[in-house]
Amino acid sequence: MNISRLNFAHLPTPIEALPRLSEALGGPRLLIKRDDQTGLAFGGNKTRKLEFLLAEAREQDAKTLVSGGALQSNHCRQIAAAAARFGFKCILVLTGEKPERPSGNLLLDQLFAAQVVYVAERKDRDRILQETFNRATKEGLEPYLVAYGGSNATGALGYAFAMKELVEQNCHADWIVFATSSGGTHAGLLLGQRMFGYKGKMLGISIDETETWLKEHVSELASSASAKLEARIDFKPDEVLANDNYCSAGYGSDSFVCNVRRPVVGPCLYGTRRGRDD
């Protein structure tokens, strides 16, 4: 198994019990894997993906990272931090009006010296992202395009190996439940389950996409990721468990779970949203 990887995440991340939430729900044993502690610019799940994506960018002799997301994208904040750490330039295409005074992740993007291209309407972002990448190519910036959420076959490998880490921690969970949207984390866990022998079930809670779309997309993404490691595994849509019943609260909205037991992270890690921005 020969795959390039830059090891900069703070791993393994710890697993903690949630006794108050277990009590509030009537007794199930609940655990949380603290991937908010992966270490890169306040952590998050994208750090695991970026270990593989940046290695690929280096192999392609890229000098600039280009990606997009919401104005307060956690994904883009971690890309900007990774670019600063490893000597890449960074261009971010963000949906929203330029604020008079930046705050939160946008402020961090600027502190990490990322160039920000503002897009007023989300419907225009894909086009402007591609135009930005093409312009960077013409200007000799040698760009590498990072998929939304780091969710391509390369990025998904981060969570295939996260599953290996989880299995080695012997937490013996019957279910793994996580948020899903662009599909990279979901696909990586699905591949890791097959590779490393996790015997429980996995359920992705959609924050924007339909169950049908997730089943098709995640199975294909997991299949593509598997081909980067060894013989391709053809995952089927019915192997993907997803629930799309919780997509209406809005991005960043607090919930019952947040109020019972909230790790110390920003509100953009909580709630659901309309539109895939991270």
Which of the following is catalytic: 73, 151, 206, 219? 73
The 3-class SS string of the chain reads CCCCCCCCCCCCCCEEECHHHHHHCCCCCCEEECHHHCCCCCCCCHHHHHHHHHHHHHHCCCCEEEEEEECCCHHHHHHHHHHHHHCCEEEEEEECCCCCCCCHHHHHHHHCCCEEEEECCHHHHHHHHHHHHHHHHHCCCCEEECCHHHCCHHHHHHHHHHHHHHHHCCCCCCEEEEEECCCHHHHHHHHHHHHHCCCCEEEEEECCCCHHHHHHHHHHHHHHHHCCCCCCCCCCHHHCCEECCCCCCCECCCCHHHHHCCCCCCHHHCECCCCCCC
Q: Known catalytic residue: 73?
A: yes
Catalytic residues: 73
